Structure 1
Amino acid sequence: MAGSRPSGDEPSVHEPLFFLSYARPHESEAEHPREEPDLFLTFFDDLTQRISTLLPGERPGDLGYAASAVAPGQSILQALAMCHVFVPLISPQYFRSRFCGLEWSAFRKRVGTRDLALHFVPVTWAPVEQADIPPDVLEINFQTPRQGRADITEGLYSLMVDRAPGSDYDRVVRNVARTISEAAREHPLPAGTPAALRSLPNAFRAAPTRLRLRIVILAPTRDRSPEGRTAVEHYGPTQTGWAPYDDRWDRTLAADVKTVADRLGYDPEIVAFDDVAPALLAGTLAGAPTILLIDNWALLDTGWRDQVAAYVDPAAKRPAWETFMVVRDEKDPQTRERGADLRAAVDETLGASLQAMQTVVQHAASGNGPRERFPSHFSTVAEFAAGLFRFRRSQ
């Protein structure tokens, strides 16, 4: 058995146990191609390593195939014709990908009348509403063997913040590895003929519409900074130029949240607080789940603090899908130095609203945790707001 995690020239492919199908990042995310690890392939590596422990004598590099191209090449077609298990990384974005839909169709055609649940082993990358799952996918009963797995409700992307042995992520990897190794050993698929993907139907042709997620950024700018905040390199000419983390002044928070929101399957709308404050406070913005991202330093500015206080005031009776999240970098020297003042400003302005939140959302929205936890925390707040908005629309 031989497969690959391809890079550069297309490798030869013989008989991988599994084919990892995932939605490639949009071209807009390619502006900073070296800034973040490819978490899809991190999961692929972890999974092949775990399978290798279940199948002694097999090399991890020979066990699976992860397609990295944005269009079908010969190695992808060959891997689909030879693999025994198809592992789709389910997300709203996955079901919008034409190439993923073609990969699904190619493997589905090859499985034929066999038990589909033995050869399709889906992993939830980001949660998907049941109503948004394409009909051709619903024919596969894959819920029962995944019952209780943390990725179903949390999404693997959020779980990857903790990859330690015994973590929820580690347990998902173990479960998937065991399922793949058992299926390949006990129910091997006969090799097929590489399909011409473009001749196949897209299994996801009834793709769901992306839900708009409004992200409002409240942060100082180079022209307006609270007294005592001299680290102007964190800020840009507008509020969306804010780069909060001390180790990455060249990476704005707007770029981070766009990447996370897009991978969760939302259509992110990122705006500066000062540009929308009147409409936001008046409640006249078009309805959409909304997250106000607040630099804790901005709350030392009395004007901004008063506006935030009005935004979270219960008397304003704002929809529950309009919420907020504090962002701070504990590694920043000035933030550590003024820590007491910054926390006092947060407690005075937002303390009551934080206390009213569900515990998991409260922790995510409070600004606790290092940069590494920001994607997970933002995902929690975003999913909370979007879930409430969807519930309102279903009434």
Structure 2
Amino acid sequence: MTDDHLADRPADSQVPFFFHSYGQTHSGSAGSRAPDNRQEQFHDLLSQFVLQLTTHDATTPVGFLDQHIPLGGEWEKALKEALATCRVFVPVYSPQYCVSTWCGMEFDGFVRRQTEHRRSEPYTVSAIVPVLWTSPGRFTLPEAVQPFQYDGPDLDQDYQLMGLRGLMEAGKWRVYRRTVWRIAERIVDVATAARLRPCDVSLFDDLRNVFAPRTQGDS
């Protein structure tokens, strides 16, 4: 039996369906970065749900997360290749995200890619699906990300007040799972509507941190 709804979904692919962009926390020693197990927990659940909603080849990662780059891998090269080929960009808003240089560069790269795509597809929807990690009252969004909406009537009020990490720490696991499912649905719907084409990685040769405050003389 043919499902016309699924027939409209993006086909199986070796490229990541979504790019998980997040701000890393730091340990107490000399500002070194510490793995965020909660981010990985969210990534794994989101990946499971996206797989259930698509025909993506489960033998390859459905989402890109920099913690999953193999030891010894060329980190920056792998990151840029994922940025150039993923279907949807998922920025996870938190205090750390809003001040991260690399997150600002990742955001710049994906916006450049969308701009390039729209030269021939001017009516394409945005393929950016923001996620709240903590309460939106605990950080100030950089100007570059403000046009991209992170809330909506289909998302639980507790999520919009607390973010995913807040739901986790409050033990609101049913709300958390329901919210991640709805985020997965939004990712798949956006990917289907945008049909964003891959770009050449050279587009990212001179990425800049678009979260940094502009100084006088910036264009």
TM-score by length of 2: 0.74
SS at match of 2:19: strand
Structure 2: distance between partners of 1:198 and 1:27 = 30
SS at match of 1:119: coil
Alignment of 1:314-353 (within 5 A): none
Task: Go from structure 1 to structure 2 and tell me whether the alpha carbon gap of 1:156 and 1:60 turns closer, same or farther (over 3 Å shift).
Answer: farther
Matched, 1:18 2:45: no
Q: Which residue of 1 aligns with 2:209?
A: 202
Q: Which residue of 1 aligns with 2:54?
A: 55
Structure 2: distance between partners of 1:116 and 1:26 = 38
Structure 1: distance between partners of 2:189 and 2:147 = 22
Q: Which residue of 2 aligns with 1:171?
A: 178
Structure 2: distance between partners of 1:118 and 1:39 = 27
* Larger RCO, structures 1/2 (Cα 8 Å, 6+ apart): 2
Structure 1: distance between partners of 2:58 and 2:85 = 17
Give the Å deviation of 1:95: 0.7
Give the Å deviation of 1:203: 1.5
Structure 2: distance between partners of 1:177 and 1:21 = 15
Q: Which residue of 2 aligns with 1:79?
A: 82
Query: Which structure has the larger Rg over C-alpha atoms?
Result: 1
Q: Which residue of 1 aligns with 2:133?
A: 125
Task: Go from structure 1 to structure 2 and tell me whether the alpha carbon gap of 1:31 and 1:201 turns closer, same or farther (over 3 Å shift).
Answer: closer
Give the Å deviation of 1:189: 0.6
Task: Go from structure 1 to structure 2 and tell me whether the alpha carbon gap of 1:197 and 1:98 turns closer, same or farther (over 3 Å shift).
Answer: farther
AA aligned to 2:144 is D
Q: Which residue of 2 aligns with 1:152?
A: 160
Give the Å deviation of 1:185: 2.7
Give the Å deviation of 1:144: 4.0
- CA deviation vs aligned residue, 1:18-64 (integer Å, no higher than 9, x gap): 0000012224379896xx87111110100010111112463174311
Structure 1: distance between partners of 2:21 and 2:40 = 11
Matched, 1:189 2:188: no
Give the Å deviation of 1:139: 2.4
Give the Å deviation of 1:188: 1.4
Alignment of 1:1-395 (within 5 A): 14-28=14-28, 38-56=37-55, 58-59=57-58, 61-68=60-67, 73-112=76-115, 113=118, 118-129=126-137, 132-144=140-152, 148=156, 150-161=158-169, 162=171, 164=173, 167-195=174-202, 197=204, 199-206=206-213
Structure 2: distance between partners of 1:201 and 1:57 = 32
Structure 2: distance between partners of 1:138 and 1:57 = 31
Structure 1: distance between partners of 2:195 and 2:80 = 18
The question of whether the paired residues in 2 share the 8 Å contact of 1:117 and 1:140 is answered with no
The question of whether the paired residues in 2 share the 8 Å contact of 1:116 and 1:140 is answered with no
- CA deviation vs aligned residue, 1:265-322 (integer Å, no higher than 9, x gap): xxxxxxxxxxxxxxxxxxxxxxxxxxxxxxxxxxxxxxxxxxxxxxxxxxxxxxxxxx
TM-score by length of 1: 0.43
SS at match of 1:155: helix
Residue ranges of structure 2 left out of the alignment (5+ in a row):
1-11, 215-219
- CA deviation vs aligned residue, 1:84-119 (integer Å, no higher than 9, x gap): 110011011101000000000000111114678641
Fraction of identical pairs, as percent: 27
- CA deviation vs aligned residue, 1:306-341 (integer Å, no higher than 9, x gap): xxxxxxxxxxxxxxxxxxxxxxxxxxxxxxxxxxxx
SS at match of 1:190: coil
Task: Go from structure 1 to structure 2 and tell me whether the alpha carbon gap of 1:57 and 1:193 turns closer, same or farther (over 3 Å shift).
Answer: closer
SS at match of 1:199: coil
Task: Go from structure 1 to structure 2 and tell me whether the alpha carbon gap of 1:111 and 1:171 turns closer, same or farther (over 3 Å shift).
Answer: same
Task: Go from structure 1 to structure 2 and tell me whether the alpha carbon gap of 1:58 and 1:125 turns closer, same or farther (over 3 Å shift).
Answer: same
The question of whether the paired residues in 1 share the 8 Å contact of 2:124 and 2:194 is answered with no
Task: Go from structure 1 to structure 2 and tell me whether the alpha carbon gap of 1:149 and 1:32 turns closer, same or farther (over 3 Å shift).
Answer: same
Residue ranges of structure 1 left out of the alignment (5+ in a row):
3-13, 208-395
The alignment's C-alpha RMSD in Å is: 3.2
AA aligned to 2:84 is A
Structure 2: distance between partners of 1:163 and 1:195 = 43
SS at match of 1:132: coil
Query: Bigger CA drift: 47-56 or 91-100?
Result: 47-56
Structure 2: distance between partners of 1:27 and 1:133 = 24
Task: Go from structure 1 to structure 2 and tell me whether the alpha carbon gap of 1:153 and 1:110 turns closer, same or farther (over 3 Å shift).
Answer: same
